[in-house]
Amino acid sequence: MTYHCPASSAFASPRLTVAVACASFILGACTSNPTDPAGSDLVVIEAFLFAGEPVTEIRVTQTIPLSSADQTPVPINDAVVRLVRDNITYDLVATGTDGYYEDPGNIQVNVGDRFRIEVSYQGTVASGETTVPPPPSGMALSSGIVYAPAFGGGRGRQRGGPGLNDPEQELGVTWSNPDRLLHFVVVESLDDTAEPIVPDQIRDRIGTRFRFVSTPTDDDAATINAVTLEFLGDHRVRLYRVNAEYAQLYENRTQDSRDLNEPPSNIVNGLGVFSAFASDSAFFTVLRR
């Protein structure tokens, strides 16, 4: 245990400096400071609004103490969650026991709207604000077809690994971005019964699940390589115009005690993110060669 004399705010008056400092010294009027982290119990908000889509992506959980071996988020299902736009309040309702909330009415999320979220839980109100950005413009794909890489030990096997440096396995996504605004690309398979690119037995052996992940970029192009996809068939590329608060979630976190800082968050009195998106879409098909 170490001791630390806090503010001694009377020091603000130089005339009282002597008296206060001496009293502080003589009486040892010091408070203790903890030496070890004690953990915290804060509300975590994950709230995303999409232009032109229903409000469903609102989730409220609790922080997990670092001393806990269980890293599963604890959902909060009994919070009071509201959205506020132009001084009009919309109450959201919990959808179940997983911490998700949705709009029971029909909130229209429009480009340019400014929303505020308020989460009241156990006497504390956490809040955040965001503005719905305009959708991306000028989105285009370099092709409507991309070829899946060949796997296995047979003739289809390629030197250098699957999909490396093969232009037919790459798909270019471009958009207009003269102001270097932040965008984000998500690739989704549209066919629930599509054939996996990698045969199940190979996937089992590798033990790795392929996934395309795009970090927010201020560029005007991205490349999708077929080795990052999971299924053959129809896919959709969604290009999101994103706000800075979402892009910051991708910051690399490496921390030590001399230099730790709070992760990026636009939530006041809580943690997490409240952000809005507008997207455009394009489609392509993955074929086996």
Span interacting with another protein, options 86-94, 109-117, 134-142, 252-260, rule CB under 8 A: 252-260
Nearer to another protein, 161 or 167 (CB): 161
**How far is CA 133 from each of CA 2, 26, 51, rounded to the nearest angstrom?**
49, 60, 8
- Report how far residue 69's alpha carbon sits from residue 157's, in angstroms, rounded to the nearest whole number: 42
C-beta separation of 288 from 169 below 8 A: no
Beta carbon nearer to another protein, 118 or 177: 177
Answer yes or no whether residue 254 interacts with another protein by CB under 8 A.
yes
39: contact with another protein by CB under 8 A: yes
Distant-in-sequence, close-in-space partners of 18: CB < 8 Å, separation ≥ 6: none
Output the six-digit token pair for 278.
């507008």
The CA distance from 233 to 47, in Å, is: 31
Residues 61-90 touching another protein, rule: CB under 8 A, are 61-69, 71, 73
258 binds another protein (CB under 8 A): yes
215 or 223: CB nearest another protein: 215
96 binds another protein (CB under 8 A): no
Q: Using the rule CB under 8 A, is 93 a contact of another protein?
A: no
Tokens (6 digits) for 50? 């999409």
| Cβ atoms of 115 and 83 closer than 8 Å | yes
The verdict on 284 binding another protein (CB under 8 A) reads no
Three-state SS for 282?
strand
Please answer whether residues 182 and 245 qualify as being in contact, where contact means their C-beta atoms are separated by less than 8 angstroms: no
Helix (H, G, I), strand (E, B) or coil at 249: helix
CA-to-CA distance for 119 and 114, rounded, in angstroms? 17
- Pick out residues in 219-248 that bind another protein (CB under 8 A): 240, 247-248
Q: Which is nearer to another protein, 88 or 154 (CB)?
A: 154
Of 115 and 212, the one with the shorter C-beta distance to another protein is 212
Least distance in Å: CB of 270 to another protein?
10
Q: How far is the CB of 198 from another protein (least distance, A)?
A: 10
Q: Residues 160-199 vs another protein: string with x where CB under 8 A?
A: xx--x---------------x-x-x-x-------------
CB of 28 to another protein, least distance (A): 10
Nearest to 5 by CA among 14, 37, 25: 25
Q: Of the listed pieces 12-20, 81-89, 120-128, 136-144, which binds another protein according to CB under 8 A?
A: 12-20
Q: What is the DSSP letter of 262?
A: P
Query: Which is closer to another protein, CB of 68 or CB of 131?
Result: 68
Residues 6+ apart with CB under 8 A from 102: 54, 55, 56, 58, 92, 93, 95
By the rule CB under 8 A, 106 interacts with another protein: no
